[in-house]
Structure 1
Amino acid sequence: MSKSKKNIQVQLESEKINGDVYDVLKVGNESIGKIREIENNKYEVTSSNDDVFRVKNADEGIEVLLSEYHLHKN
Structure 2
Amino acid sequence: MSKKDKNIEVEIAEAVKDGKQVQQVLIGKNIVGEVKNSDGKFTAILTDGEEFNVHSFDEGIEVLLQQYHLHQG
TM-score, L = length of structure 2: 0.92
Long gaps (5+) in structure 2: none
1:1-74 pair list within 5 angstroms:
1-40=1-40, 42-74=41-73
CA distance in 2, matches of 1:16, 1:50: 17
Q: Deviations over 1:7-42 (max 9, x none)?
A: 1000111001121111000111110000110122x1
TM-score, L = length of structure 1: 0.91
Runs of 4+ aligned residues of structure 1 deviating over 2 Å after TM superposition are none
Percent identity over the alignment is 34
Q: State the superposition RMSD in angstroms.
A: 0.9
CA distance in 2, matches of 1:48, 1:3: 29
